[in-house]
Amino acid sequence: MAVVDNLDLASNYKQLLEDNDIPAELKVPDEEDEASAISVIVPEEYLDEAHIVIESENVYEDYFDMTLDDEIEDYSDVADEDY
């Protein structure tokens, strides 16, 4: 369903899916396995819904990141009476 290289991100996706009533599990590679990617797996009947949930979360995070980037970082040029 989704393949990521970060266990925290994979765990977040798993929790997000479960919060939306989509069963999910993580497939973490064995230490001797050369692959380092972690798979987030859902049953086939939930696949379309899982994609929508994760994409919706990614769009929200991108918007949130853009909003934070637009915040004023230097308040020295803002007049005190504005606050």
Please name the residues in contact with 42: beta carbons below 8 A apart, sequence gap of 6 or more.
1, 17, 22, 23, 24, 50
Judge whether 52 and 17 are in contact, CB under 8 Å: no
The 10s digit of each residue's pLDDT in 3-62 is 888 888 899 999 999 999 999 999 988 776 666 789 999 999 999 999 999 888 876 555
Q: What is the pTM of this model?
A: 0.65
* Backbone Cα Rg of the chain: 19
* CATH class belonging to 2-71: alpha beta
